[in-house]
């Protein structure tokens, strides 16, 4: 149910009695990524395809600028799990203040902005653009 004021408390859609909000959706994607990481073979081909590799991004693999926060090609640990839990806890409160659309925009801009910044730094500081190391 929407409340008067800044944003809507409603989720993007409902699964049964659960409102799926931006924070819940991103947290669920991170948990799915954890499971994929655990089930993948040793080369981690799916996780490697999601990570932000500046050379791959420059050569047309543009999805990497969005998927890098949920990629764990080099492994994951307890701090990754804690980070998702903290994101869900505090992100839910922030989303209640901002509303679902503003929260989605905020997360999108932060993800893409930091990704573009990283690609720019790597390209600017690498002597041979074809030899940039993956994140």
Range of the domain at 69: 13-126
Residue 134 maps to a domain: no
On whether residue 132 sits in a domain, the answer given is no
26: Cβ contacts below 8 Å, ≥ 6 apart = 70, 87, 91, 107
Q: How many domains does the chain have?
A: 1
Per the domain annotation, does 8 fall within a domain?
A: no
> For each of the chain's 135 residues, which pLDDT tens digit applies?
455 544 555 777 877 888 888 898 999 999 998 998 888 888 888 888 888 888 888 888 888 899 888 888 888 889 989 999 999 999 999 999 988 899 999 999 999 999 999 999 998 888 665 555 665
Contacts of residue 98, defined as CB under 8 A and 6 or more positions apart, other chains included, come to 6, 7, 106
């Amino acid at each position: 149910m929407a409340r008067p004021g800044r944003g809507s408390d409603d989720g993007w859609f409902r699964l049964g009695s659960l409102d799926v909000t931006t924070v819940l959706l991103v947290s669920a994607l991170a948990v799915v990524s954890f499971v994929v990481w655990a089930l993948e073979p040793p080369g981690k081909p799916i996780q490697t395809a999601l990570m932000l590799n500046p050379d791959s991004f420059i050569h047309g693999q543009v999805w990497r600028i969005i998927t890098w926060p949920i990629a764990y090609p080099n492994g994951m640990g307890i701090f990754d799990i804690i980070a998702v839990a903290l994101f869900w806890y505090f992100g839910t409160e922030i989303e209640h203040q901002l509303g679902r659309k503003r929260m989605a925009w905020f997360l999108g801009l932060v993800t893409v902005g930091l990704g573009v910044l990283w690609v720019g730094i790597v390209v600017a500081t690498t002597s041979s653009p074809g030899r940039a190391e993956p994140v």
